[in-house]
Structure 1
Amino acid sequence: MDPIHITSEIGKLKVVVLHRPGEELENLTPDYLTDLLFDDIPYLKKAQEEHDAFAQVLRERGVEVLYLDQLAAEALATDALREQFVDDMLANSKQDTRRVTETLRQFLLDLPTHAMVRKLMAGVRKDEITLPPEHHQQLHDMVEKDHYPFYLDPMPNLYFTRDPAAAIGRGLTINKMHWPARRRESLFMRYIIDHHPRFAGKNVPVWYDRRENYSIEGGDELVLNREVMAIGISERTSAEAIEKMATKLFAGSDFKKVIAMEIPKSHAFMHLDTVFTMIDHDKFTIHPEIRDHGGKINCFILEKVEGQPFPRITRETDLEHVLRVALGLPAVTLIECGGGDRIAAAREQWNDGSNTLAIAPGVVVTYDRNYVTNQKLRDAGVEVIEVNGSELGRGRGGPRCMSMPIVREDV
């Protein structure tokens, strides 16, 4: 079997990539929350306990759980690769021309490989490194020595493994992240795909690369079936990236249609999967606020045209009709976050009530705190497996955000 095989959102989940949160969360402080895309500071010990319980739920359902840091460490099997990786990470951290760079580089390379990977994730504080005396003459350090605390910023969003890369068919997108705080994250998957023995030499196609000009993130990418995707035009995914990715996907795979759904560009609705997910062959969760008062939403349908280099694009506003046609179904059911109640919907969407992870058709993992939405799912015949996300949810992401499926059974 190919090392990546994703032909739906709902096929029985077989292999998933997670990241257990680490010291990067303890490097969050109130002064830098906004720059690092957080609203609050999770308590690491509890966040790890919650994440471990989430991973265990998946294992108990027969899912192989891989961890991002272990994959990255295993991929860096030679000294040359270690050095190349550190140099790339420093360059992407805007540290490639400073006097401190060589000291920082050597500090990282002196660590064992796994510890080095975790340190890059956690960030490097200024008080962790002793600089040669001549480096203190650098103007930037003289000005900022008592202010900004990091030489390398932490990556606290890494436990949302869905976003830096997304598996589609037998390939993936390695994503150009929208905000600078997250752009380094996709480097880990680039090295894993290129150098880890599980993936290297397996001809894994990359439908979109992190070096492209336009941003796209995995939370906006949903594989509805082996021929159809839905992608959010959102705060973090641009229309230009969608068209470019779809063009390459159509040319190199069995996919024939992409439904580009325009959602409000706001922090609350940062990705499509925070407001819309697929949970069964004909069932979806939806946050009602992404549709206008007439129930409409802009959907741009990109379709493969044989013999043409670019897709045909049409516009529709009836989401149910678009889904029925695309999936060949007589009807679809949209289950509203919070049961459609205005207050409950807003509260539970903020706490990722629509961010469900399907691990089999009609079987989803959700946060237990979203009890109104969870009951509506059960009323619709969906099996709901609840996990605690009181600390994990402070990062504004739920079970789907925290998982990167790479192998599912076909449905």
Structure 2
Amino acid sequence: MLELRITDETSRLRAVVLGTAESCGPVPRPEEAYDPKSLEHILAGTYPREADMVAEMEAFAGVLQKYGVKVFRPEVIEDCNQIFSRDIAFVIDDKLVKANILPDREREFDAIMHVLDQIDREQVLVPPPEVHVEGGDVMPWNEYLFVGTYSGADYARYITARTNRAAVEYLKRQFPRKKVKSFELRKSNTNARENALHLDCCFQPVGKDMAILHRNGFLVEEEYQWLVDFFGRDKIFEIDQEEMYQMFSNVFSISPGVVVSERSFTRLNGWLREQGFTVEEVPYAEIGKQEGLLRCSTLPLVRG
């Protein structure tokens, strides 16, 4: 049996579900796009090819295995995009929470049943239908639980709004010992540079006390400032709009000292090395065209 344990974003990773790009289907039609960045590449004829994305994910898998991480992969569903396993479930402490995802992505959860069968069923939480939540918006950080949300009256208009206020209240009830801190995120269906699809698209902790942050991803200045005060300005790598668009904040920690990053993120990777991190660079720019990167394609199960 798998003993789930996730209390933060950076402790030594032991087991993870890494998505798959195999048989991810034809290029979507514009009306099928889940986010503005995918739409941009569909319309431009630059949507990523399956073979390129498979190669990128295998490079990532190789790094994880190099560090002795147990890597699970979903069962391959024909013509189904299963890259972003963070969307379908997430672990907090010793509980796995099933995400309430876009309805036509339900099959992706079924494809990790061989992993779920190794988890005590009492450790799996299934939120009620009114709770909308995806793993990219949920970050355990010791006694805190950081949650990205959107609570505007026009929530239903945004395909990019994935986690609602009901989810914030649900997580407070399920994890009463956590300090649940929510952040209102900027949403756009049409402009990828003005859209924080998930919290990890504009913020992520690294190491033990540092963070990557993008100010304009937050709708409420005081909530952005709370993070600046919490980590300290000198411990934050602030990214600009173009770097947010390229997904600089969506790197992935294997341990407090090892970060997997996209090889083209020169400014970020240099800063990380200056702080003493080992940076494992991988090619991931093709997958990045779908407004998701390294953290998005992982579902950590055990850390510590």
Contact 2:202 2:244 in 1 (8 A): yes
**Equivalent of 1:228 in 144, 149, 152:** 144
> Aligned pair count?
282
Question: Structure 2 vs 1, CA of residues 219 and 36 (structure 1 numbering), >3 Å: closer, same or farther?
Answer: closer
Match of 2:198 among 271, 277, 290: 271
- Flag the 1:331–1:264 CA change in 2: closer, same or farther, 3 A: closer
1:246 is aligned to 172
Q: Report the equivalent of 2:221.
A: 296
Q: Cα 1:31–1:221, aligned 2, differ >3 Å: closer, same or farther? A: closer
The answer to whether structure 1 residue 186 and structure 2 residue 109 are counterparts is: yes
Counterpart Cα distance in 1 of 2:30 and 2:121: 44
Determine the C-alpha separation between the residues in 2 that align with 1:31 and 1:162.
23
Pick closer, same or farther for the CA change 1:372–1:18 going to 2, 3 Å: same
For residue 372 of structure 1, report the CA deviation from its aligned partner: 1.8
Specify whether residues 183 and 20 from structure 1 end up closer, same or farther in structure 2 by C-alpha distance, changes over 3 A only. Answer: closer
Residue equivalent to 1:214: 131
Report matched runs for 1:12-411 at 5 Å.
Answer: 12-25=12-25, 27-34=26-33, 38-39=38-39, 40=41, 41-69=47-75, 118-119=77-78, 122=79, 155-156=80-81, 158-177=82-101, 179-189=102-112, 191-192=113-114, 196=117, 198-199=118-119, 201=120, 203-206=122-125, 208-209=126-127, 211-225=128-142, 227-234=143-150, 235-250=161-176, 255-266=177-188, 267=192, 268-290=195-217, 296-298=221-223, 318-321=226-229, 323=230, 333-337=235-239, 345-409=240-304
Quick one: which amino acid aligns to residue 398 of structure 1?
L
What residue identity is the alignment partner of 2:291? R
Q: C-alpha offsets along residues 320-367 of structure 1, whole Å, 9 cap, x if unaligned?
A: 33x36xxxxx88711112xxxxxxx22221121111111100321111
| Equivalent residue letter for 2:235 | T
Supply the distance in 1 between the matched residues of 2:162 and 2:21 (Cα, whole angstroms). Answer: 23
CA distance change for structure 1 residues 35 and 367 in 2, over 3 Å: closer, same or farther? Answer: closer
Aligned to 1:298, the other structure's residue is in SS state helix
TM-score (norm 2): 0.83
| AA partner of residue 44 (structure 1) | E
Counterpart contact for 2:4–2:94, Cα < 8 Å: yes
Distance across 2 between alignment mates of 1:59 and 1:2: 18
Highest RCO, 1 vs 2 (Cα 8 Å, sep ≥ 6): 2
Contact 1:261 1:297 (8 Å CA) reproduced = no
- Structure possessing the higher radius of gyration over alpha carbons: 1
TM (norm. structure 1) is 0.63
| Structure 2: segments with no counterpart, 5+ residues | 42-46, 151-160
Contact 1:2 1:202 (C-alpha < 8 Å) held by counterparts: no
- 1:6 shift after superposition: 0.8
Q: Which amino acid aligns with 2:221?
A: K
Give structure 1 stretches of 5+ with no counterpart.
70-116, 123-154, 300-316, 325-329, 338-344
AA partner of residue 246 (structure 2) = N
Aligned-residue RMSD, C-alpha: 2.5
2:153 matched residue in structure 1: none
**Identity over aligned pairs, percent:** 28
Task: Please say if residues 77 and 111 of structure 2, whose CA atoms lie closer than 8 Å, have aligned partners that are also in contact.
Answer: no
Take 2:226 and 2:52, find their aligned partners in 1: how far apart are those partners? Answer: 42
